[in-house]
Amino acid sequence: MRRYRWPSVVWCLVFWSAAVGAAAQPSPPRGTLLEWAAHMRRLVLDRTHGYGGRYYEGGLFRTFTRKMDYEYELDLLTYRFSLFDDARWVQRPGGYRVYTGSIDYGVFVTESQFKHTVALNRRSRFQLWGLQEENLRARRFFVEIGYTYQLAAQHQIGLRHTLGMDKADLDFSLHYQWRSLARGGVRLELGLLDWASNFVYRLIARSNRSFETRQRYQHRPYLLSITATTPVASPLRAELAAGLQTRARARVDQTVARTPGRAGYVTEQLRAFENQESVGYLGLLLEYAHPFFTLGVTYRGRYASVNRTPSADSTGCWEAARGLSRCWVPYPAHFQSREFSSALGLHGALRWRRLAVQTEWIRAINGDRMQGPALPEAFVVPYDFRERRLTGKTRLTYLSPGGFWAALELNLEDRNVRGPRQAGTINLSFRRNFPDQVVPFNRRVTLLLGYQRPTLELTVGVSFDQDGDLYSGWGIPSQWRDRPARFDGGFFRLQLTWP
């Protein structure tokens, strides 16, 4: 299996910059983990629109779904915004950005974000956030509205609320913030998740109307989060982003079938299960900025668990008024799902005259486990997937005086699957569930063209395969069959911000 060590080119660039000195030119960009933390927060808040719905058995993060092929993560690495792009995004109160990239002959992955702030008066502000996401992990349109009141020069309080069609998936949060996160500050948030769920459950239970799924919490979840940053003007800066969803326990009732009976009776077959969940994430960034270069390290960790057991009263029948008979049938699954990731990253940027270099490398330990006496029907056998993954992106850019630029970028993954070897295959149990997910390495070279202004950046790119596989796009065999397909997808990105 091919291996890659931490790239020595980053350190060479650092020593080179020290020898040349700081020139009178724009400084290299800086990175941030604030947008990564915002993404993790959205995963916790919006359970309805993830792949497979709210009660998908494969876990909160959807580490693997059967629609993914082994180049899916490489596609996302190539198409999505980098942590340098994220820094420009979070420093502005308003903006719109989108990326769209090809993963198949007829399929894109795409994500659009919108945010805007309106000053109501000297102390009050109204805020709006929107996210449209369509990929192999989620299809969501996530909207939040917020209100912020400034108590004093450096102190503010506020509230946020999600908007959506599913009443049981509405979330409300309160926060206190000291100063601005974009310029250095602290934010504490308490979120009440699914606050209307039990109310909706009681409304359905007292009616004679049918339902597909209803949920009642015995132990309601909260989201506790903290975000802290040091001033961005300081050469040495740090970020902390952490969140914890407290343990949630709920009873879930699902309609299996409705059958007409004699004398106008209707029989409903229902099943019930107990669902327990917990989630946590932690992000750390330490970065040093010189007028000539930027160098930083990051840590990103996350954990999610789901325990699902049949309800104790999942058998039996009872007859209600108006000729409705309900029969409870056993829930067919009893399992535990665990997902975790622990990733250490190194990123750097350098600018000299018309040339710029950006690089980011991440060494991660990933895990995805499905165990239990009765697995969901979609899973063949229990598995305990573990891997060590190295992800890398390095870009060399030429900047023209008019704002146009061109770049050449290397994107790669090196994956080392762990586990017992069976029939000559490492972790055979996982591969029986997901046969097309893992290869030793993926590598591509991407050509980019773009236009940049302080508040606008437009990028288009096309990739060329460098790993020699015989697949094109979404696991489709190359049209030549006996030699690699060199075209490896195209994409575009747009980021527009305003004060």
Q: Which one has a higher pLDDT value, 260 or 73?
A: 73
What proportion of the chain, given as a percentage, has pLDDT over 70? 89
Tokens found for residue 66: 């059967």
Over residues 31-57, the mean pLDDT reads 95
447 assigned to some structural domain: yes
Q: Does the pLDDT value for residue 135 go beyond 60? A: yes
Q: Measured between alpha carbons, how far is 238 from 231 in angstroms, rounded to an integer?
A: 8
Over residues 56-75, the mean pLDDT reads 90
2 assigned to some structural domain: no
Domain that holds residue 396: 33-498
Identify the CATH number of the domain in which residue 236 sits: 2.40.160
Q: Measured between alpha carbons, how far is 217 from 169 in angstroms, rounded to an integer?
A: 12
Residues in the chain: 499
Q: What is the phi-psi region of residue 208: left when phi exceeds 0, alpha when psi lies from -120 to 50, beta otherwise?
A: alpha
Q: pLDDT (tens digit, 9 = 90+) per residue, 234-280?
A: 899 999 999 999 999 999 998 888 777 655 667 778 889 999 999 99
315 assigned to some structural domain: yes
Residue pair 450/404 in contact by the 8 Å Cβ criterion? yes
Concatenating the DSSP letter of every residue in 415-429 gives EEEES-EETTEETHH
Q: Does the pLDDT value for residue 472 go beyond 50? A: no
pLDDT of residue 14: 41
Residue pair 433/25 in contact by the 8 Å Cβ criterion? no
18 assigned to some structural domain: no
pLDDT of residue 436: 74
Of 230-234, 369-373, 443-447, minimum mean pLDDT range: 230-234
Residue 15's pLDDT band (cuts 50, 70, 90): very low
Concatenating the DSSP letter of every residue in 372-405 gives EEE--TT-SS-EEEEEEEEEEEEEEEEE-TTSEE
Over residues 64-79, the mean pLDDT reads 91
pLDDT of residue 345: 98
Residue pair 96/496 in contact by the 8 Å Cβ criterion? yes
Q: Which amino acid is at 497?
A: T
Q: Does the pLDDT value for residue 126 go beyond 50? A: yes
Pick the closest to residue 285 from 330, 241, 331 (CA basis). 241
SS3 179: strand
Concatenating the DSSP letter of every residue in 120-178 gives -SSSEEEEEEEEEEESSSBEEEEEEEEEEEEEETTEEEEEEEEE-S-GGG--EEEEEEE
Residue pair 231/239 in contact by the 8 Å Cβ criterion? no
Averaged confidence pLDDT in the chain: 88
Q: Which one has a higher pLDDT value, 10 or 235?
A: 235
Q: Which amino acid is at 390?
A: L
Residue 13's pLDDT band (cuts 50, 70, 90): very low
**Residue 264 DSSP class:** G
Query: Could you give the number of structural domains in the chain?
Result: 1
Tokens found for residue 286: 């330490």
Tokens found for residue 76: 């996302």
Over residues 343-371, the mean pLDDT reads 96
Residue pair 132/141 in contact by the 8 Å Cβ criterion? yes
Pick the closest to residue 39 from 146, 172, 140, 165 (CA basis). 140
Q: Does the pLDDT value for residue 346 go beyond 90? A: yes
Of 25-34, 179-188, 347-356, minimum mean pLDDT range: 25-34
Pick the closest to residue 260 from 330, 315, 323 (CA basis). 323
Residue pair 476/484 in contact by the 8 Å Cβ criterion? no
SS3 232: coil
Most confident segment among 52-61, 209-218, 389-398:
389-398
93 assigned to some structural domain: yes
The residue with tokens 């569930």 is: 433
Q: Does the pLDDT value for residue 20 go beyond 50? A: no
Tokens found for residue 203: 């409304």
Q: Measured between alpha carbons, how far is 297 from 294 in angstroms, rounded to an integer?
A: 11
The residue with tokens 């929107």 is: 130
12 assigned to some structural domain: no
What is the pTM for the complete model shown?
Answer: 0.90
Exposed, middle or buried by CB within 10 Å (0-12, 13-18, 19+), for 306?
A: buried
Q: Measured between alpha carbons, how far is 45 from 223 in angstroms, rounded to an integer?
A: 9
| Sequence-separated (6 or more) residues with CB below 8 Å from residue 93 | 115, 116, 117, 499
Give the pairing type, strands 266-289 and 324-329. parallel
Q: Does the pLDDT value for residue 24 go beyond 70? A: no
Q: Measured between alpha carbons, how far is 48 from 245 in angstroms, rounded to an integer?
A: 16
Tokens found for residue 458: 């437009």
6 assigned to some structural domain: no
Q: Which amino acid is at 338?
A: R
Q: Which one has a higher pLDDT value, 288 or 318?
A: 288
Q: Measured between alpha carbons, how far is 411 from 389 in angstroms, rounded to an integer?
A: 13
pLDDT of residue 212: 85
**Residue 470 DSSP class:** S
Residue pair 33/309 in contact by the 8 Å Cβ criterion? no
Residue 319's pLDDT band (cuts 50, 70, 90): low
pLDDT of residue 307: 97
pLDDT of residue 6: 44
Over residues 224-228, the mean pLDDT reads 98
314 assigned to some structural domain: yes
Over residues 403-408, the mean pLDDT reads 97
Pick the closest to residue 31 from 360, 282, 302 (CA basis). 360
Of 137-141, 271-275, 315-319, 322-326, minimum mean pLDDT range: 322-326
Q: Does the pLDDT value for residue 467 go beyond 90? A: no
pLDDT of residue 338: 97
**Residue 65 DSSP class:** -
Q: Which amino acid is at 486?
A: R
Pick the closest to residue 59 from 369, 387, 454 (CA basis). 369
Neighbours of 181 (CB within 10 A): 21
Q: Measured between alpha carbons, how far is 345 from 425 in angstroms, rounded to an integer?
A: 30
